[in-house]
Amino acid sequence: MSIDFHPTKVDLLRSCDSNDESRLWDVCGGDFNLILKGGSRQVRFQPHLGHFLASSTKNIVNIFDVETNSIQKKVTKGHVKDVRSICWDMSGIYLASVSTDMVY
């Protein structure tokens, strides 16, 4: 459903699928290392540093700590309908999400 390269570890990328799983892939080896629940629509690494990964599933946006692979924040307020897209600002401080009912 979505894919994004890590901004500093260029041999790593994260993908997500319709089963609500996101996988961390080693581009050189072609293997996936880690599966996380909570990403069926979009995955986006925080720009420049890649400390955080944002993902969306249904009307929820999850923010994962990349080092610990744990959810740091689960945003459940705001969207009634499914989140269609997420995007970090260039500083990596702010995250926007959009659905057919609103931008948050």
CATH number at residue 36: 2.40.10.480
Q: What's the pTM value of the predicted model, to 2 decimals? A: 0.88
Tell me whether residue 31 is in a domain.
yes
Strand ranges (E), 1-104: 2-5, 12-16, 21-26, 31-37, 42-45, 52-57, 60-65, 70-75, 83-88, 95-99
In the prediction, which pLDDT does 4 show? Answer: 95
Number of compact structural domains in the chain: 1
Tell me whether residue 77 is in a domain.
yes
In the prediction, which pLDDT does 50 show? Answer: 95
Domain hosting 79: range is 2-99
Tell me whether residue 104 is in a domain.
no
Percent of the chain with pLDDT over 70: 100
Tell me whether residue 21 is in a domain.
yes
In the prediction, which pLDDT does 55 show? Answer: 94
In the prediction, which pLDDT does 22 show? Answer: 87
Which of these ranges, 19-23, 31-35, 73-77, 95-99, has the smallest mean pLDDT?
31-35
